[in-house]
Structures are given as C-alpha cells and as structure tokens.
Amino acid sequence: MKASKIAVFLSMLVIIALAACAPAAAPQPEAEQPAAEQPAGDQAGAFSRGCKGSAETALVDLDCRKINIAVENVYLPFNYVSIETGEPGGWDYDAMDKICALLHCEPVFHEVSWDVLIQSVADGQYDMGADGVTITEDRKKSVDFSDGYVKIEQRLLVRKGETRFSSIEDIVADESLVLGTQTATTNYETAATYLPEDRIKAFETFPFAVQALISKDIDAVIIDQTAGMGYMGENAQEVELIGPAIESQELGFFFPKGSDLVDPINQALAAMQADGSLEEIHLKFFGPNFNVTAEDIQQ
C-alpha cells in the first residue's frame, strides 16, 4: 500500500493487524452477478490470473467467477509491471491469488490511473479495487471496504544520511524545505495539515516523487511506511525512512456499494491471518529481501 533494516521490519510486523471479520453471506450465482465490463479507459488491458482453488476446498464457492480488480500497476510494493518480463507482480497480485484460491474465483487485474481509480470502482466499472488504499470515512461514502488487511503509518522518506531534519515538525520550522507526495492521496491530505501548498510538490505517482527526492528536487516524501519500504530495496544506499509515525491508518480493498464480495473476501482475509499466509505475503513484499525498484518497473 518496502524495508532496509531488520529493526524497521520487526516494528512493521508489530503493527500488522486485521479487523474482525463479519459472518459471510452466500454470494449470488455468476449469472445474476456478472463481472464488471472492462471500460474503454483501461490503459494496458487486463492481466488474468486464471481460476484458483476448487469448489471442494472453497470457504465460499464463487464458481470460478471473474473478479475484475482495479490497480495502478506503478505502486510498489503493492503492484507493478516488470520492464524486463512484462509480467505484473506485487502484494495485490499474491494476496488476490490466495484469496481466490480460498474462494474459487479468477482474479483479473486492470490498470487504472490513480485519479479515477476509486471513482471507477464506485461507478461499478470494476468489481473491486486494491492498490494499498487507506480506509477513510470520506471514502466510505462512495465505496464499501473490506476489513483492514494491514495497519500502516505515514512516514518521511529522505535521502540517506539526511541531517537537516528528523521529523515533520522540523520540516515545518524550516521554510526552505519542500515536501513531496502523490496527488489526491491521504498522504497529500496529511502534508496539507502541516504545510502550505507552495511547500508541497504533488506528483502523479510515487515513483516520480521518489526520483525527485533522489535528484534533490525535493527534500522529503511523505508516504505510507509499507510503500516507502518498497523503495528501499536496491535503493537502500540512497533513501531511508526517518522519524516517528505522522499518521496511523488501515488499508483495505474497496468495492461498489452493496457488493456481495465484501463478506467472502473478509472470510478469506481472516483465514489467511489465522494460517499465517497473510504474514508470509507481508514478509515477501514488505521485508528486507524485496529488491524491485522504480527503475525495474513500467511507468
């Protein structure tokens, strides 16, 4: 919704938590609940992962129903497309593969730009959205959320060895410093509570913000800790997370209002928490061995 030091990683695991899940209601047959059509605005087509699991082992049998999922495909470590192979990957892909293995469904990922991602799901163009989206009361007005799958903290990502400041308060106090983030995110909203607009530089995607940081065009990036850790694989010699948490929130999948997928997916998340598979996925993408960088992915 990315790491360098074991201590940071261990503290990350401490904050990972799932909200309690509600009892699942039986889903409607596929004929009565058709998958959302792919809109003409899809930027790079769809990535189908094939039908997962079986009716015999499913927590809730969705009968190989196609689940159309909106993601950016540029948000490390949650989703990306490899330049070298052209193949997608990330936390969202592995998590939805496991969820569909538990629900006997087919995850189909669609690349959608951030500025229309949530609204396109709210409008029913997709069955659900992933992308490491923060659960907020304002967003709940237009979409339904799953239980939280990880609790995250907003942190400062800076160039390695930064000594001019160590907290958001230090940045506020020095009027020469400029903070970067992604436009229309909760990170931008947090930045705006501390700084005037002329000291915030918003980018279309986080990879651009991180590159601007490395190039010394900005002084820090306010980012979710999980996402920031994803930029610290092979970039460990260039960037690091510093300071205390600025804001703590949960991430969740989101759906059109009234979606029949919410309860089954909550059941799957709870099962993954109980058997340790959710933690394994966290470790793979938020742990110290994750080494995919912005230079490795399609922008």
Mind giving me the DSSP string for 252-268? --EEETT-TTHHHHHHH
3 state DSSP class of 271: helix
Average pLDDT over residues 127-140: 96
Neighbouring residues of 123: CB distance < 8 A, sequence distance ≥ 6: 256
Mean pLDDT of the chain: 86
3-state helix, strand, coil in the chain (%, to 5): 30, 25, 45
Are residues 30 and 65 in contact, defined by beta-carbon separation less than 8 angstroms?
A: yes
- pLDDT at site 18: 34
CATH 3.40.190.10, the chain: domain bounds: 7-149+252-291, 152-248
**Beta strands in the chain, from DSSP E residues, in sequence order:** 46-48, 65-71, 74-75, 79-81, 88-89, 105-111, 128-129, 143-145, 150-159, 179-182, 200-203, 220-224, 239-251, 254-256
Q: Per-residue pLDDT tens for 21-73?
A: 333 334 444 434 444 444 433 444 689 999 999 999 999 999 999 999 999 99
How far apart CA 264 and CA 99 sit, in angstroms, is 9
Better-predicted residue by pLDDT, 268 or 232: 268
Q: Order of strands, edge to edge, in the sheet holding 74-75?
A: 74-75, 79-81, 88-89
Question: Which residue bears the tokens 């080494």?
Answer: 291
* Cα dihedral sign, 192-256-140-90: negative
pLDDT at residue 241 tops 70 = yes
pLDDT band (50, 70, 90) for residue 159: very high
Q: Which CATH number fits domain 152-248: 3.40.190.10, 3.30.930.10, 3.40.50.920, 1.20.1740.10?
A: 3.40.190.10
3 state DSSP class of 234: coil
pLDDT band (50, 70, 90) for residue 234: low
Average pLDDT over residues 219-240: 84
Q: Are strands 200-203 and 179-182 parallel, antiparallel or unpaired?
A: parallel
| Residue 44 φ/ψ, nearest 5 degrees | -140, 30
pLDDT at residue 19 tops 60 = no
Are residues 257 and 154 in contact, defined by beta-carbon separation less than 8 angstroms?
A: no
Average pLDDT over residues 234-244: 86
Q: In terms of CATH, what superfamily is 7-149+252-291?
A: Periplasmic binding protein-like II (3.40.190.10)
Q: Is the pTM of this model over 0.95?
A: no
How far apart CA 154 and CA 182 sit, in angstroms, is 13
Q: Per-residue pLDDT tens for 174-212?
A: 999 999 999 999 999 999 999 999 999 999 999 899 999
Q: Per-residue pLDDT tens for 95-115?
A: 999 999 999 999 999 999 999
- pLDDT at site 45: 63
pLDDT at residue 7 tops 90 = no
Average pLDDT over residues 145-158: 94
How far apart CA 149 and CA 18 sit, in angstroms, is 5
